[in-house]
């Protein structure tokens, strides 16, 4: 908006009498945004997990170190216990919570996701200026060329550790501690099929800078992550819940990782009840919940949905739904072992 257009809309007599005042006010109003640098929000996916929160913090830190002072980390939901444990351990403050982009988010960097079904509410894709992630490309489109980095790494935290190195930015003890936690968490202590020798090498390097023993520290992480005794069925379901659209079938796929599936036996029926409620309240066609045993590396895949969705779900995992679920050995990763199978089975 220019001064001219502003004056054109005001009355002639007012313009004659108060023009010096109007000019001053107009100048202040128009000039103020020019002095303030627009904020740059670095944010991860909804139902934030450790990798998504840590990616936001460490990538914003990298940007700051490179002179981009307006970058700051944010989260789009409540922190889980594992993330709180890690931030507390390395004495790093919790990021700001932004759950709605209606009135802000002029410039946004997405970390650990690129699927708009999983991003903060009311975010305009055109406001995304960078993406750093390790998931499949989920229909992201943007009118301009942006920095868009996706690598099939075990964690976004590991990709960011590489970016520190590539830009010759030293990694502090705190940032190293956060990134090693992100990799250990996302790869379930490097056991997940998503992890590679590069992740193992990064863990070794970062753990050294952070001054932690990755085996001992990792065991502590898993203990915190899998301690769900105090959680409600709803808390368990929504703790790590992601939305997907499989060829028009609106879906939610959650996951909980435990050290022993027996701890979930008593809550199984309640989780199924909550899945039905969430399916209706979120207007979904299907809800899948992975009850994953990280010790046995197996998952019980709970299913709620209509008969058509059930058929495609059975096709995806090559079995019949028994007692509301299909059980699979050697299944840990939603990203690698569940989403691609559902995607293929629902393809029309």
- The verdict on 199 binding Mn ion (CB under 5 A) reads no
Identify which of 253, 267, 333 has the alpha carbon closest to the alpha carbon of residue 294.
333
Q: Whose Cβ is closer to Mn ion: residue 149's or residue 270's? A: 149
Q: Whose Cβ is closer to Mn ion: residue 95's or residue 305's? A: 95
Interacting span for Mn ion (CB under 5 A) from 155-163, 247-255, 276-284, 340-348: 155-163
SS (HEC) of 37-73: CCCEEEECCCCCCHHHHHHHHHHHHHHHHCCCCCEEE
Residues 287-326 that bind Mn ion (CB under 5 A): none
* 3-state SS, residue 241: strand
Strands 298-305 and 286-293 come out as: antiparallel
Q: Whose Cβ is closer to Mn ion: residue 51's or residue 300's? A: 51
CB of 131 to Mn ion, least distance (A): 13
Task: Check: CB of residue 334 under 8 Å from CB of residue 304.
Answer: no
CB of 190 to Mn ion, least distance (A): 14
For Mn ion (CB under 5 A), the number of binding residues is 6
What tokens does 176 get? Answer: 């190293």
CB of 101 to Mn ion, least distance (A): 19
Task: Check: CB of residue 73 under 8 Å from CB of residue 83.
Answer: no
Q: Which of 42, 43, 47, 49 binds Mn ion (CB under 5 A)?
A: 49
Interacting span for Mn ion (CB under 5 A) from 15-23, 91-99, 151-159, 314-322: 151-159
Cβ neighbourhood burial of 84 (10 Å; 0-12, 13-18, 19+): middle
CB of 324 to Mn ion, least distance (A): 26
- The verdict on 174 binding Mn ion (CB under 5 A) reads no
Q: Whose Cβ is closer to Mn ion: residue 52's or residue 312's? A: 52
Strand partners, 133: 150
Q: Which of 80, 105, 109, 112 binds Mn ion (CB under 5 A)?
A: 112
Which residues fall within 8 angstroms of residue 83, CB to CB, at 6 or more apart?
Answer: 48, 49, 50, 53, 54
- The verdict on 186 binding Mn ion (CB under 5 A) reads yes
Q: CA–CA separation, 254 vs 334, rounded Å?
A: 9
**CA-to-CA dists, residue 267 to 270, 273, 296, angstroms:** 5, 10, 20
Interacting span for Mn ion (CB under 5 A) from 21-29, 183-191, 212-220, 325-333: 183-191
CB of 52 to Mn ion, least distance (A): 4
Q: Which of 52, 58, 76, 187 binds Mn ion (CB under 5 A)?
A: 52
What tokens does 80 get? Answer: 């889980």
CB of 2 to Mn ion, least distance (A): 45
- DSSP letter at 153 equals -
Strand partners, 128: 108
Interacting span for Mn ion (CB under 5 A) from 141-149, 156-164, 266-274, 300-308: 156-164
Identify which of 156, 152, 214 has the alpha carbon closest to the alpha carbon of residue 189.
214
CB of 28 to Mn ion, least distance (A): 44
Residues engaged in binding Mn ion (CB under 5 A): 49, 51-52, 112, 156, 186
């Amino acid at each position: 908006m220019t001064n001219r257009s502003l004056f054109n809309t005001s009355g002639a007599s007012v313009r004659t009498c108060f023009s010096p005042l109007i000019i001053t006010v107009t100048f202040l109003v128009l000039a103020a945004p020019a002095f303030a640098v627009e904020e740059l929000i670095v944010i991860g996916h909804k139902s934030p997990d450790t990798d998504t929160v840590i990616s936001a913090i460490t990538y914003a830190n990298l940007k700051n170190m490179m002179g981009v002072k307006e970058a700051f980390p944010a989260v789009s939901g409540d922190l889980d216990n594992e993330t709180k444990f890690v931030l507390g351990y390395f004495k790093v403050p919790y990021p700001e919570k932004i759950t709605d982009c209606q009135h802000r988010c002029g410039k946004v960097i997405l970390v650990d996701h690129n699927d708009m079904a999983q991003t903060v509410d009311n975010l305009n894709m055109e406001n995304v200026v960078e993406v750093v992630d390790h998931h499949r490309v989920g229909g992201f489109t943007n009118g301009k060329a942006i920095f868009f980095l996706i690598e099939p790494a075990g964690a976004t935290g590991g990709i960011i550790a590489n970016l520190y190195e590539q830009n010759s930015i030293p990694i502090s003890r705190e940032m190293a501690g956060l990134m090693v936690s992100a990799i250990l968490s996302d790869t379930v202590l490097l056991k997940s099929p998503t992890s590679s020798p590069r992740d193992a090498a990064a863990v070794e390097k970062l753990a050294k800078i952070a001054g932690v023993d990755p085996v001992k520290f990792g065991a502590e992480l898993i203990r915190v992550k899998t301690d769900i005794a105090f959680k409600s069925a709803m808390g368990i379901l929504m703790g790590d819940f992601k939305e997907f659209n499989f060829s028009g079938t609106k879906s939610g796929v959650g996951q909980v990782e435990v050290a022993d599936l027996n701890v979930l036996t008593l809550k199984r029926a309640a989780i199924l009840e909550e899945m039905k409620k969430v399916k209706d309240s979120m207007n979904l066609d299907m809800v899948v919940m992975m009850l994953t045993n990280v010790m046995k590396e197996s998952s019980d895949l709970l299913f709620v949905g209509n008969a058509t969705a059930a058929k495609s779900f059975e096709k995806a995992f090559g079995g019949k739904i028994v007692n509301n679920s299909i059980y699979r050995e050697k299944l840990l990763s939603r990203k690698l072992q569940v989403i691609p199978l559902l995607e293929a089975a629902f393809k029309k």
